[in-house]
Structure 1
Amino acid sequence: MVKCFSVFKGIYTSIFISILFLSFFSCSSEFQDNYQDRDDGYLDIVFSKEETRADLASDGSGSFTEGDKVGLYIQGDKGLSYRELTYSGGQWMPRLKRSDFGEGPISLSAHYPATGEQQNPDTYQLNMALDQSEDGFYNSDLLFSKTVVGSGVYKVDMNFRHALHRIRIFLSGSVTSPEVKVRSLTEGHFNLLTGEVEVNGTDFKWITPFKDAEGNFSAVIIPQSAISYRDGDGLLQIAAEGKTAYFNAPEKTEENNDLTFFESGKQISINLTLRPGNPELAGKTLWVYGLNVPDFPGKENLPVYRLGKKYGLPKGQWLRYDNRYYEEQYLTWAEGCGWYDCNKSHGNYEDDSQMCWAASASNVVSWWMCLNKEYLAAYDEDYGSSVTTGSGTFERPSYEFKPLYPNGVGNWDGSLPEPNNVTVNRSEVFQFFKDHFPNFGNDDPKGVEWFFTGAYLGGDINGFKGFLSEVFTRNNALTARSPHNPDREQFNAFVTDALLNKRAIGLNVFDVAGPKTGNHAMTAWGVEYDEAGDIAYIYYCDNNSADQDPNGAVLIRQQIVYAVDSYGKECTYLQQLKPEDPDTRVGKFLITSVFSADLGRDIWKKKYPNVVVEK
Structure 2
Amino acid sequence: MNLRSLSVALLAVCLSSETACAVPVFLENVSETSGWYDCNKKTKWDWGSISNRPSEYYKLPLDSQLCWAAAASNVLQWWQDTRSDRDPATPNGKSATYAAMPEVGQLAIYYTIANNWTDAGGSVEQAYNWWFNGSTLPSVFFPTDSQIRDQPVFSPASPGGYWKELDMNVTYTPGGGGVADTPLFNSYTFYNHDDRNGVYGILKNNINNNWGTTLTIGQKGTGHAITMWGYDTDADGNLIVYLTDSDDYAVGMFRQKVVVDDQKYVYLTSLDGEKNVYGYSYEELGLTGCQVGEIQGFTAPLGDLRIPEPSTGVLALCGLFLPLWLRRRRP
Give the TM-score range, shorter chain: 0.5 to 0.7
Aligned to 1:593: 294
**Which residue in 2 is equivalent to 1:466?**
161
Q: Which amino acid aligns with 2:165?
A: E
Bigger strand share:
1
Is the counterpart of residue 456 in structure 1 residue 150 in structure 2? Answer: no
CA contact (8 A) 1:482 1:491 kept: no
Partner Cα distance (2:113, 2:160) in 1: 15
Match of 2:260 among 555, 562, 565: 562
Q: 1:497 aligns with which of 190, 196, 205?
A: 205
- Amino-acid identity (%): 22
Q: Is the 8 A contact 1:355 1:440 kept in 2?
A: yes
Residue 216 of structure 2 aligns to a residue whose secondary structure is strand
1:339 alignment counterpart: 36
Q: Which residue of 1 aligns with 2:243?
A: 540
Q: CA deviation at 1:599?
A: 4.1
Which amino acid letter does the alignment assign opposite residue 459 of structure 1? Answer: I
User: Which consecutive unaligned segments of at least 5 residues does structure 1 have?
Assistant: 1-277, 295-315, 317-336, 386-394, 407-420, 605-610
Residue 572 of structure 1: CA displacement?
1.2
- Distance in 2, matches of 1:525 and 1:517, equals 19
Aligned to 1:172: none
Which structure has more relative contact order (CA 8 Å, sep 6+)? It is 2
Structure 2 match to 1:442: 122
Number of equivalenced pairs: 240
Contact 2:267–2:280 under 8 Å retained in 1: no
Please report the TM-score for the alignment, with normalisation by the length of structure 1.
0.35
Tell me, what secondary structure is at the counterpart of 2:136? coil
Task: Note the C-alpha offset of 1:472.
Answer: 2.7
* Corresponding residue for residue 228 of structure 2: 524
Q: Which residue of 1 aligns with 2:31?
A: 293
Q: 2:216 aligns with which of 508, 521, 525?
A: 508
**More helix as a share of residues:** 2
Deviation at 1:429, TM superposition (A): 0.6
Give TM-score, length-normalised by structure 2.
0.62
Q: 1:370 aligns with which of 61, 81, 88?
A: 81
Name the aligned partner's letter for residue 338 of structure 1. G
Determine whether 1:573 maps to 2:267.
yes
1:417-428, aligned counterparts within 5 Å?
A: 425=104, 426-428=106-108
Taking the aligned partners of 1:576 and 1:447, their CA distance within structure 2 comes to: 29
Q: Structure 1 residues 585, 499: closer, same or farther in 2, change over 3 A?
A: closer
Radius of gyration: which is bigger?
Answer: 1
Q: Could you tell me how far apart the structure 2 residues matched to 1:554 and 1:596 are?
A: 21
Letter in 2 for 1:478: L
The answer to whether the 8 A contact 1:367-1:399 is kept is no
Give deviations 1:531-575, integer Å, cap 9, x for gaps. 575x52111111012xx31xxx1111121111034xxxx121101
* Residue in structure 2 matched with residue 361 of structure 1 by the alignment: 72
Amino acid of the structure 1 residue aligned with 2:37: Y
2:187: which partner in 1? 481
CA shift at 1:579, angstroms?
Answer: 5.6
| Match among 53, 62, 65 for residue 351 of structure 1 | 62
Cα drift, residue 497 of structure 1: 1.5
Residue 474 of structure 1: how far off its partner (Å): 0.9
Match of 2:165, SS? coil
Please tell me whether the aligned partners of residues 133 and 160 of structure 2 are also in contact (alpha carbons under 8 angstroms). yes
Once the two structures are superposed, what CA deviation does each residue of 1:265-289 show, in whole Å capped at 9, x if it has no partner? xxxxxxxxxxxxx866712234332
Distance 1:401 1:440 in 2: 21
Matching residue of 2:176: none
Q: Which amino acid aligns with 1:352?
A: D
Say whether the 8 Å CA contact 1:358–1:433 is kept in structure 2: yes
Contact 1:375-1:613 within 8 A present in 2 as well: no
**CA 1:281–1:480: 2 relative to 1, 3 Å:** farther
Instruction: Structure 2: state its 5+ residue gaps.
Output: 1-13, 46-56, 138-146, 152-157, 171-181, 282-287, 309-331
Provide the C-alpha distance between the structure 2 equivalents of 1:555 and 1:522, rounded to a whole number of angstroms: 11
How many Å separate the matches in 2 of 1:282 and 1:365?
A: 31
Q: Secondary structure at the match of 1:375?
A: coil
Shift in alpha-carbon separation, 1:493–1:353, aligned structure 2, 3 A: same
User: Is the 1:526–1:539 Cα contact (8 Å) retained in structure 2?
Assistant: yes
CA contact under 8 A between 1:366 and 1:399: conserved in structure 2?
Answer: yes
